[in-house]
Amino acid sequence: MQRILKIMGTKIFSEKWGSADGKEVFLFTLVNDNGVITKITNYGGAVTNISVPDRNGVLENVVLAFDSLPGYLQRGNPCFGCLVGRYANRIANAAFTLNGKQYLLAANNNGNSLHGGIKGFDKVVWDAEITQDPAGQDLKLQYYSRDGEEGFPGNLAVTVVYRLSSDNALHILYEASTDADTPVNLTNHTYFNLSGGKDADILNHELQLNAPYYTEVDERLIPTGNILPVKGTALDFTGAKKLGLDIEKVAPGYDHNFVLENNGNTLKHIGYLYHAASGRKMEVATTQPGVQLYTANFLNGSLQHTWKERAYNKYAGLCLETQHFPDSPNQPVFPNTILKPGELFHQETVYRFPVQ
């Protein structure tokens, strides 16, 4: 009698989506038993779709995205949904010193290095594999960053697993190993708008963060080294409040690293985003010590190939980029970001989408 293996839980389907750097690019669709959908491409590891229900059960995409690969390849793509590395966020003056040697990076942001340089992990084709676990199928992406790439030392082997669970949560699990000391800071740069495109901006979204402190920055958004309390400032989200309430006090918008009450060893709830009109909520948990709140301050409606031809303007979405702190290689008081041979970089972030 022939046995038929039935895949339970999340299922993944793939389709060809084009090519880049002479390699095939695929779009992977993850579907759980509730009908929740996540779409991810192996170009930059970008999340292109998270379709979750509102309080009436209507599924809508809650991330800013392009409708085809050319959108992600275009100049000016603001890292929609992508994986960021080798070092997420900024490194001051595009340089750091490690073991007595200075390393020079690409100065691609006001004289600083941003998000891994000119061709960071968001602009490479990752090797993709669909794997099986007891809860269903996972998408495993792998990339080998060679010694000297974008100025960073050491060969770095990176694995990122995307998992869509039965409780409507997207898990992102990061691992990396190296053969030489190197800074590592990996994150995901998805822009969220829980209205599913009904609201042109996120100013009516409510945000709550378990973050009593933030890293002060100068006019170039480089940390001064000071860790300051949020109490009494526009950065205080310890109690839920609408994004639009204080955003004009931090013009051009929020682009700040918040210090989490997290020891970095366990997965911990750090806050939530809520859209009252739809009832959609996004709860965030992470092992990381920080989270960058970015409110899409520089979108201006000019992007091509956008999802359903939407014009993404300022504040169209927000990012909650779980991470280590900006410029940590130059800030000895910040949590360590230097990965050494024989060590395993391991971080996890979960975005869960209940309805309220």
Cα 251 → chain centroid = 23
List Cβ neighbours of 65 (8 Å cut-off, separation of 6 or more): 46, 47, 48, 49, 71, 80, 81, 306, 307
CA angle 224, 110, 216 (to 5 degrees): 20
Q: Judge whether 312 and 306 are in contact, CB under 8 Å.
A: yes
Q: Is 149 a catalytic residue?
A: no
Which sign does the torsion angle of CA 247, 253, 254, 256 carry?
A: negative
The 3-state DSSP composition of the chain as helix, strand, coil percent (nearest 5) reads 10, 45, 45
Pair of tokens at residue 314: 């300022």
Which residue of the set 171, 189, 256, 275 is catalytic? 189
**Cα–Cα distance list, 280 to 20, 56, 160, 268, 295 (Å):** 35, 10, 27, 21, 18
Cis ω before 354 (30° cut-off from 0): no
Burial class (CB in 10 A: 0-12, 13-18, 19+), 69: buried
321 catalytic residue (yes or no): yes
Contacts of residue 178, Cβ cutoff 8 Å, sequence gap at least 6: 154, 155, 156, 157, 184, 339, 340, 341, 343
DSSP sequence for 120-165:
-GGGSBPEEEEEEETTEEEEEEEEEEPTTGGG--S-EEEEEEEEE-
C-beta separation of 193 from 311 below 8 A: no
Q: Quote the CA–CA distance of 197 and 347 in Å, as a whole number.
A: 30
Distance CA 327, CA 291 (A): 14
Spatial CA neighbour of 185 closest among 137, 120, 237? 120
Residues 62 and 299 sit within 8 Å (Cβ to Cβ): no
Could you say which of 275, 321, 324, 348 is catalytic? Answer: 321
Residue numbers annotated as active site: 189, 321
